[in-house]
Amino acid sequence: MERARPHLTRRRLLQGAALTAVPFALLPGTRAAAAGTRTVDCPAAEWAPASTANYTASSRPVSHPVDRVIIHVTQETYATTLSIFQNPQKNVSAHYVVRSADGHVAQCVREADIAWHAGNWDCNTRSIGIEHEGWVDRPDCFTDALYERSAGLTASVCARYGIPMDRAHIIGHHEVPGTDHTDPGPDWDWVRYLRLVNFV
């Protein structure tokens, strides 16, 4: 983030003014911004990339069909989850993280790439992983905004890959074969969530 930079000098401001005369497309920063925009698969998401050490680069759905959405709960705060995904030592990531308070969505891994979220390689290769800020024993974290924004995201994913919007294809981490994870837990309202996914 550049916004908080405290030492924005007059000289720098003037340089900035001079740059406005340069054609928009020739600015290196503009190209970087454009590339960043292209990386987000869901237009409403903010790009918050995971370390490249924490997922497998791929070319889905050409390399692997995508036919599942896997729902997770972080057991960490939103900010801590993003920092874990950015830590190359952690060996974990998900495509998206949804913030509890307002449903804000961060995209951490491109959908074409294989995020490491299910603890099961076959499931990882065929799924989009969505983390939700919260704890399995704290249903107050599952806000209206979180359900609504997540459902919109899942509906978008399902529409783009032709995934049926049902419980056979939108599953919890606890339903991944061989897992010992319990998320999203008994307080996750699947009936409500599936209704939202189907009617957004």
Residue numbers of the site for Zn ion (CB under 5 A)?
72, 173, 181, 183
Q: Are 35 and 58 in contact (CB under 8 A)?
A: no
Q: How far is CA 62 from the centre of its chain?
A: 21
CB-wise, 159 or 189, nearer to Zn ion?
189
Q: Is the peptide bond between 184 and the residue preceding it cis, with omega within 30 degrees of 0?
A: yes
CB-wise, 63 or 87, nearer to Zn ion?
87
CB-wise, 149 or 173, nearer to Zn ion?
173
Rounded Cα distance, 97 and 138, in Å: 17
CB-wise, 126 or 181, nearer to Zn ion?
181
Q: How far is the CB of 146 from Zn ion (least distance, A)?
A: 15
**What would the two tokens of residue 196 be?**
């939202």
Other C-beta atoms within 10 Å of 102: how many? 12
Task: Give 8: exposed, middle or buried? Use CB within 10 Å, 0-12, 13-18, 19+.
Answer: exposed
Q: How far is the CB of 130 from Zn ion (least distance, A)?
A: 10
Q: How far is the CB of 191 from Zn ion (least distance, A)?
A: 20
Q: How far is the CB of 95 from Zn ion (least distance, A)?
A: 13
